[in-house]
Amino acid sequence: MQSVKEESTAREARLIDGRQAASRLRAAIAAEVAQLGRDHGAVPGLAVVLVGADPASEVYVRAKGRAMREAGMESHEHRLPADTAQETLLALIDRLNADDRVHGILVQLPLPAQIDTQAVIQAISPDKDVDGFHVLNVGRLALGQQAFVPCTPRGCLMLLRQVLGDLTGKEAVVIGRSDIVGKPMAQLLLGQNCTVTLAHSRTRDLPAVCRRADILVAAVGRPEMVRADWIKPGATVIDVGINRIERDGTSRLTGDVDFAAARGIAGAITPVPGGVGPMTIACLLQNTLDAFRISRRRAAPCHPSSERKPS
């Protein structure tokens, strides 16, 4: 199925339509969840934990809950006050780890200052770590083993595969070395047999490094930092950045790439909004479905091959 939208002007890059790709993925997940409900009388469940009332976090939690319900999954929301003690939050995670109705656990970040974020992340069962932040999932990804992958880089890879197909031999540059996007994105691209450079604030002559890239992933959180002359003609550009800027008295969202200028150079590019963002929530649904499958496999009775069958 065609995943990019051809533009009428040949000189312009193709738009990588993240909304369309996410809609297809969510529809496929919803169909599988409905079948699971019919076959097994159970569906995937995600527990989302929100500590405090950060406005942006509130928006994200509502969007995730709505997406879960639209896919036919169970959404379990746990809202705690901003002054919640770390021990209280860890006790809730212990209960969720033991709850068979909960297949995925997501603790909305950032957490209040009195809570050690890493202690909370590592307390989540690796088999329910749908954010892909637990050290075991990070290690498994680095070793090329089956792991939960953070949702944003997983979505980026899906878009790249839909646009380019086989990525073998492509030169990829990832700008930004965060644990949430940059590092796992680099590992995923290595797993696709790309030659990968992970660039960052200390990289020498960053524009020249970027100009080598067949695939350029920008994930730095700096509005329009990547200029058109940083981009190799025909390259595929994935813009992960979501930045709110004020221009001419109006507030608008922009990415880490100068989209208007880059579109005349790149072969394909994600817009902001409407590119990577929709894929992030779709991949959260996919990770939750994967967690459900893992729980079903572990719950299945074992039938050793040496066991004598009744005559």
What is the DSSP annotation of 102-113?
--EEEEPSSPPT
47 has a pLDDT exceeding 60: yes
Same domain for 169 and 248, yes or no, is: yes
Q: Which of 82, 103, 137 is the last residue of a domain?
A: 137
pLDDT of 4 strictly over 70? no
Does residue 113 belong to any structural domain of this protein? yes
Catalytic residue among 64, 128, 170, 183: 64
- Tell me: do 247 and 197 sit in the same domain: yes
The residue type found at 232 is K
Active site residue: 108, 187, 192, 286, which one?
108
The span from the CA of 163 to the CA of 1, in Å, is 10
Query: Do 171 and 268 belong together in one domain?
Result: yes
Residues 193 and 112 in one domain: no
Q: What pLDDT, in 10s, does the model give residues 226-253?
A: 999 999 999 999 999 999 888 888 888 8
Range of the domain at 205: 151-277
Catalytic residue among 17, 127, 129, 131: 131
Residue 262, domain member (yes or no): yes
Pair 79, 175 in one domain: no
The answer to whether 108 is a known catalytic residue is yes
Same domain flag for 49 and 126 = yes
> For 207-217, what is the mean pLDDT?
98
- How many folded domains does the chain comprise? 2
Q: What share of the chain has pLDDT > 90, as a percent? A: 85
Annotated binding-site residues for NADP(+) read 176-178, 242
Under the banding of pLDDT at 50, 70 and 90, the label for residue 304 is very low
| Mean pLDDT for the stretch of residues 56-81 | 94
Per-residue pLDDT at 301 exceeds 80:
no
Residue 104 lies in a domain: yes
Task: Tell me: do 87 and 171 sit in the same domain.
Answer: no
In a domain, 103, yes or no: yes
- 160 and 132 together in one domain: no
The pLDDT, as a whole number, for residue 9 is 42
Q: What is the CATH number of the domain that holds 206?
A: 3.40.50.720
* Helices assigned H by DSSP within 53-134: 55-70, 86-98, 117-123
Q: What is the pLDDT of residue 260?
A: 94
64 carries an active-site annotation:
yes
d(CA 237, CA 215): 6
The tens digit of pLDDT for each residue in 138-196 reads 999 999 999 999 999 999 999 999 999 999 999 999 999 999 999 999 999 999 999 99
Q: Treating both helix axes as pointing N-terminal to C-terminal, what angle do 55-70 and 18-40 enclose, rounded to 10 degrees?
A: 50
191 burial class (0-12, 13-18, 19+ CB within 10 angstroms)?
middle
CATH of the domain at 131: 3.40.50.10860
Return the minimum-mean-pLDDT range out of 29-43, 51-65, 66-80, 150-164: 51-65
Q: Are 214 and 170 in contact (CB under 8 A)?
A: yes
> Do 114 and 189 share a domain, yes or no?
no
Residue ranges for the binding site?
Answer: 176-178, 242
**Confidence at residue 100, expressed as pLDDT on a 0 to 100 scale:** 95
Instruction: Name which of 227, 232, 221 is nearest 259 in CA terms.
Output: 227
Residues 133 and 155 in one domain: no
DSSP state of 226: B
Burial class (CB in 10 A: 0-12, 13-18, 19+), 205: exposed
Query: Could you tell me if residue 23 is inside a domain?
Result: no
Q: Active site includes 131?
A: yes
**Per-residue pLDDT at 270 exceeds 60:** yes
Geometric angle at alpha carbon 262, from 257 and 265, rounded to 5°? 145
